[in-house]
Structure 1
Amino acid sequence: MTEHLNRLTPRQIVFELDQYIIGQNDAKRNVAIALRNRWRRMNSPEDIQREIIPNNILMIGATGVGKTEIARRLAKIADAPFVKVEASKFTEVGYVGRDVESMVRDLVEQAVGMVRTQKKEEVKQKAEQAVEDIILDALIPPVHGSSAVKIKADNNTSEVMPEDDAELNQRTRERFREKIRNGELDSRKIDIEVQQNQAPNVGMIGGAMDDVSMMNIQEMIGNMMPRRGKKRKVTVEEARKILLDEEASKLIDMDEVKLEAIKKAENLGIIFIDEIDKVASSRSGGGGGPDVSREGVQRDLLPIVEGSAVNTKHGVINTDHILFVAAGAFHVAKPSDLIPELQGRFPIRVELNSLTESDFYQILKTPKNALTKQYVAMMESEGVELEFEDGALREIARIAFEVNSEVENIGARRLQTVMSLLLNDFMFDIPDVIGADSHIVVTADLVSEKLSALVKNRDLSQYIL
């Protein structure tokens, strides 16, 4: 688990984040240190490991400046399970809906999925061999002793090949195995049997039951009921895809997967709590109303962030070493409006800067997933070449920054609106009017022509998302 983190030094982590996120160097440095500290803890003496608690981070900044993207990219770099939740979802009085522990259960589900995928990849070669055998059995049933080989054809008839013994049958199967591997039989239709899980949807009459108990009951009843096979007639190519996942699942030990997933979630999991400022109550207000609900949410969050045992369908998970990253704009409330106990659990405070016109230009040009590169790729799929001149990128950045300043600052998300309005006509005309092998050049004049009138118009409702 720690081998991958060993290669990620703080500078390397910041370098990786720089490939997708412009600016916000202070936030990048802090999350890089927090991630490296996980490796440092897991490689510390055992008697002190439990005592080293994560430095949870509170990000303060307006929407669209990169708070969520930093946390999400950090999880991808670390190959760690990641869950994003919105604190405002827990503000209802009585918490009708999801309870705060659901974020931990979601994290475990993410970890189980990651470990299961990894294990399936490890047994992929064996699973492919098993799938080939199933497909071969459907095409050429194995024989023992003197018999005849029947090869099933598409029209439900059989091509009969006389044989003397099973040895020749085996050689025929191997020849067909090569044909399957080379894709020569991909269009041949065969009958396969697919396992179906008969787990029912269970409802309870009477008192309320928590999510974990309900999931456990459904899983228990599902395991008691026999699995039924369903016959399907599909092509060899489709059969390979359908059967591969099924055969790989048979080769992995799910008990081992669950244990490893819980360990991964406990030591590497990242939970991003967005809009935490929405549950901060004003200290100057009275003692009732919505503030009571908000403070109740904070008190429910506190034991999870402090470290507690949460029961999930895959086992009990301790949250002591999960990294929590909270974020909020804090336009109205302040971090000090959070209850003191919760404030103390987010010792690292990072204030993210508002994006400048220069930042917008770099966001359009530099990241690996830049919007300009996304549009180039989409048009390339239609055979159309799209090119952005440097002056056009600067004009797009200027307009996006101006609209943010005059209407509502939604950060980098404004670029999506501006780019969509700029290129929508082209996207609509491809491929009916603008055919393949066309070359579109986006110039500064084109950007001004399409967008300048909208900027001058003070009624910018089209921009507000």
Structure 2
Amino acid sequence: MNDKETFEDSKETTIEEKNDNIKQETENEYEDICYICRRPESRAGRMMKLPNNIHICSECMQKTFDTINTNGVSFMDMANFNPAMFQMNNGVDDVPKSQKIKKKKPKEEKEQVFDIKSIPSPHIIKGQLDEFVIGQEYAKKVISVAVYNHYKRVASNTMDEIEIEKSNMLMIGPTGSGKTFLVKTLARLLNVPLAITDATSLTEAGYIGDDVESVISKLLAAADNDVEKAERGIIFIDEIDKIAKKRNTNSRDVSGESVQQGLLKLLEGSDVEVPVGATNKNAMVPLTTVNTRNILFICGGAFPELEKIIKKRLNKQSSIGFSADLKDKYDNDPDILQKVSIEDLREFGMIPEFIGRLPIIYTLEGLTQEMLVKVLKEPKNAILKQYKKLLLLDEVDLEFEEDALEAIAQKAIEKKTGARALRAIIEEFMLDIMYEIPKDSNIGRVIITRDYIEKKGAPRIELRGSNNPKLIGSNLN
């Protein structure tokens, strides 16, 4: 009996030791943060550790002593110092994990993090994008080359007489053409942290809204507060056309030109002090410094009415005579956005300094009916494949006739919202099917027809063990 008790005690001791070791390793992974000034150890220097897991930097401690002495409090009264004055829970650090900063790794490991040989070449990147993104051949080619050159620059870290500049990009394309999806797919393939932010929420510093530094905070959060990892990430700023200069206004333009001015230093590359785990510098959270020199910025926007500016520039040559261009020559041109120039973007409201820091400008095509049909069925995560899998879990096969797919694409073009319209259309006509199918276990196959999409008929079904297709009841009409 005594031997058994001894064994149990030793077992409990071993478990406690393991838990202590795990806790110690976790604590060593993150930097200590000064409770008063919220600076991490890498910036404030060595910390003084007080009871209840309180850390104070030497500068704040000296200021505290100076304040006490100035107010006539003797130094001996510090003997009665009570850590509870800092409102700490016993043995619990008040800094949540989302605001902790990971310690920087040694230099030897840093050099092995990003190897130039591990960067996929442009044709491999484009080939992987082809599996998920339909069409947009030119855009995929441009983004593959730009990303390849950018990460070669990051991996080589060239700082000699020939310095390679950043490959920041500006994507212009109609809504639903796949701008955000293209960037999401790219970041997933490269396995780098990605932050997607909306330019509409950004304002000039000091006004209600997010400061421009908040985009770096989001990237830092995506990198699990690892500064080195974040400095190799990608930031996608969507709706960039919404920060164009406001016209005919007498009030201060805090969400237009001012935001463009604030983004200049981020795009070019500079050391930015950002809050960890928050988007506001005034919050009582730790601050850390992030260098944006190796962060790839991709800006995207629909730029509504940019076509009118392009047509206006192209029609300047129109006049009376045999060699004159017709004024309606470009009215029905589907590729009018591809003729965009820096002059057009300046006319739209983008300042020259901002455009100059986005050297790679390219456009995405509006999706045609043929492309929309391919979007429905060809990508790895196509919408039709998702619904087929859902019904397959009920042991029912789902099939779409080619005419039905064309009808769906036609409806999507009428809505003028690109690929986003496809999901809404399919959800509408699949609702009754997804509701009725589980009722009858005899149904083995459902075939979606054009008549059903156009609300002129019903889908065909086949019962298990039967080759005779039948119409589903009128409740699915």
Shared fold, TM over 0.5: yes
- Equivalent of 1:425, from 405, 424, 432? 432
Residue of structure 1 in register with 2:361 after alignment = 349
* Within-5 A mapping of 1:136-155: none
Residue of structure 2 in register with 1:446 after alignment = 452
Paired residue secondary structure (1:48): coil
Q: Alpha-carbon deviation of 1:49? A: 9.7
Q: Does 1:298 align with 2:267?
A: no
Q: Is there any run of 5+ residues in structure 2 with no aligned partner, and where?
A: 1-112, 277-286, 307-343, 459-477
Q: Does 1:319 align with 2:326?
A: no
Q: Alpha-carbon deviation of 1:273? A: 0.6
* Within-5 A mapping of 1:244-393: 261-267=226-232, 269-282=233-246, 285-286=247-248, 288-289=250-251, 291-312=253-274, 313=276, 315-332=288-305, 335-336=345-346, 337-393=349-405
Q: Which moved more, 1:386-395 or 1:342-351?
A: 386-395
* Equivalent residues of 1:396, 1:418 under 8 A apart: yes
* Equivalent residues of 1:305, 1:345 under 8 A apart: yes
AA matched with 1:357: Q
Q: Which moved more, 1:96-105 or 1:368-377?
A: 96-105
Equivalents in 2 of 1:451, 1:303: separation in Å?
Answer: 60
Q: Does 1:415 align with 2:422?
A: yes
Q: Alpha-carbon deviation of 1:34? A: 1.7
Cα distance 1:381–1:3, how it changes in 2: closer, same or farther (>3 A)?
Answer: farther
Equivalents in 2 of 1:38, 1:6: separation in Å?
Answer: 14
Q: Which moved more, 1:69-78 or 1:437-446?
A: 437-446
* Within-5 A mapping of 1:45-194: 46-48=158-160, 51-91=163-203, 94-112=206-224
AA matched with 2:237: I
AA matched with 1:103: V
* Equivalent residues of 1:53, 1:320 under 8 A apart: no
AA matched with 1:378: L
1:364-400 deviations in Å (ceiling 9; x for gaps): 1210111101111122223322112223222222232
* Within-5 A mapping of 1:212-251: none
Residue of structure 2 in register with 1:161 after alignment = none
* Equivalent residues of 1:384, 1:438 under 8 A apart: yes
Paired residue secondary structure (1:439): strand
Q: Alpha-carbon deviation of 1:295? A: 1.1
* Equivalent residues of 1:5, 1:78 under 8 A apart: no
Aligned residues: 296
* Equivalent residues of 1:41, 1:49 under 8 A apart: no
Equivalents in 2 of 1:88, 1:5: separation in Å?
Answer: 39
Q: Alpha-carbon deviation of 1:264? A: 2.1
AA matched with 1:297: V
Equivalents in 2 of 1:428, 1:20: separation in Å?
Answer: 30
AA matched with 2:398: L
Equivalents in 1 of 2:116, 2:133: separation in Å?
Answer: 22
- Equivalent of 1:400, from 412, 416, 427? 412
Identify which of structures 1 and 2 has the higher relative contact order when contacts are C-alpha pairs closer than 8 Å and 6+ apart.
1
Equivalents in 1 of 2:221, 2:155: separation in Å?
Answer: 26
TM-score by length of 2: 0.58
Cα distance 1:344–1:59, how it changes in 2: closer, same or farther (>3 A)?
Answer: same
Equivalents in 1 of 2:367, 2:142: separation in Å?
Answer: 19
Equivalents in 2 of 1:93, 1:40: separation in Å?
Answer: 34
Residue of structure 2 in register with 1:213 after alignment = none
TM-score by length of 1: 0.59
* Equivalent residues of 1:6, 1:39 under 8 A apart: no
Equivalents in 1 of 2:252, 2:303: separation in Å?
Answer: 17
Cα distance 1:425–1:39, how it changes in 2: closer, same or farther (>3 A)?
Answer: same
Q: Alpha-carbon deviation of 1:95? A: 3.1
AA matched with 2:379: P
Residue of structure 1 in register with 2:147 after alignment = 35
Equivalents in 2 of 1:265, 1:389: separation in Å?
Answer: 47
1:419-441 deviations in Å (ceiling 9; x for gaps): 1112111122242x243763111
Q: Which protein is bigger by CA-based radius of gyration?
A: 2
Measured on the aligned residues, the alpha-carbon RMSD in Å equals 2.6
- Bigger helix share: 1
Paired residue secondary structure (1:438): strand
Equivalents in 2 of 1:49, 1:436: separation in Å?
Answer: 75
Equivalents in 1 of 2:359, 2:147: separation in Å?
Answer: 15
Q: Alpha-carbon deviation of 1:25? A: 1.3
* Equivalent residues of 2:205, 2:211 under 8 A apart: no
Equivalents in 1 of 2:389, 2:161: separation in Å?
Answer: 47
Equivalents in 2 of 1:318, 1:274: separation in Å?
Answer: 22
* Equivalent residues of 2:204, 2:211 under 8 A apart: no
Cα distance 1:328–1:451, how it changes in 2: closer, same or farther (>3 A)?
Answer: farther
Identity of aligned residues (%): 39
Equivalents in 1 of 2:291, 2:384: separation in Å?
Answer: 43
Q: Alpha-carbon deviation of 1:14? A: 0.7
Cα distance 1:446–1:323, how it changes in 2: closer, same or farther (>3 A)?
Answer: same
Q: Is there any run of 5+ residues in structure 1 with no aligned partner, and where?
A: 113-257, 453-465
